[in-house]
Amino acid sequence: MDLPFFFAFTYLLPFSVYHVIQGFVSVFFSDFAIKFNESLYGFKPKETEQLKMTFKPWGSLAFAIGIVGFVILSNLDKYFLFLIPLAILLAFRAGYRFLYKGELRSYWKVSSIQNWRMILIQILGIVVFTIFTISRL
């Protein structure tokens, strides 16, 4: 097993597990999803009823992303090109966390440390997925 494969697999496995769990919880247990996300991301929403409704489609998408991750993991060397859209997704997520860091801090009460931790985790995924994809071209 080469290093790019090891790092891609090691990042993608928890990424996929997280998205399946996040999706399932968000769709079926919205009240718990709020507490789950508070502990995970540190956000403290001011309004929860609309957020619980938003969790339904958001959770469905998260669940689908997790399943896609597991499909990729089933044969990483065959499905490596599907890492490109996942890297783009991570870039969007890191980008809006960076661009809206003030709003995340003031409205959602996400600390700078919590926000930067997520940005760095997402950048790590972009780097790992990009290096693996380049190593397979």
Q: What pTM did the predictor assign? A: 0.92
pLDDT > 80? residue 1: no
* pLDDT of the residue at 44: 80
Q: Phi/psi class of residue 109: alpha, beta or left (left: φ > 0; alpha: ψ in -120 to 50)?
A: left
Give CA–CA dist 44/7, Å, rounded: 33
Token pair, residue 43, equals 């956000």
Report pLDDT for 42: 79
Among 96, 123, 124, CA closest to 110:
96
pLDDT band for 11, please (50, 70, 90 cuts). Answer: very high
pLDDT digit string, tens, across residues 27-73: 999 999 999 988 888 788 888 899 899 999 999 999 999 999 999 99
Q: What is the pLDDT of residue 107?
A: 86
Instruction: Assess contact for 88 and 133: CB atoms under 8 A.
Output: no
The H or E element containing residue 36 is helix 30-41
Residue range 81-111, pLDDT digits in tens: 999 999 999 999 999 999 999 999 998 889 9
pLDDT at 25: 96
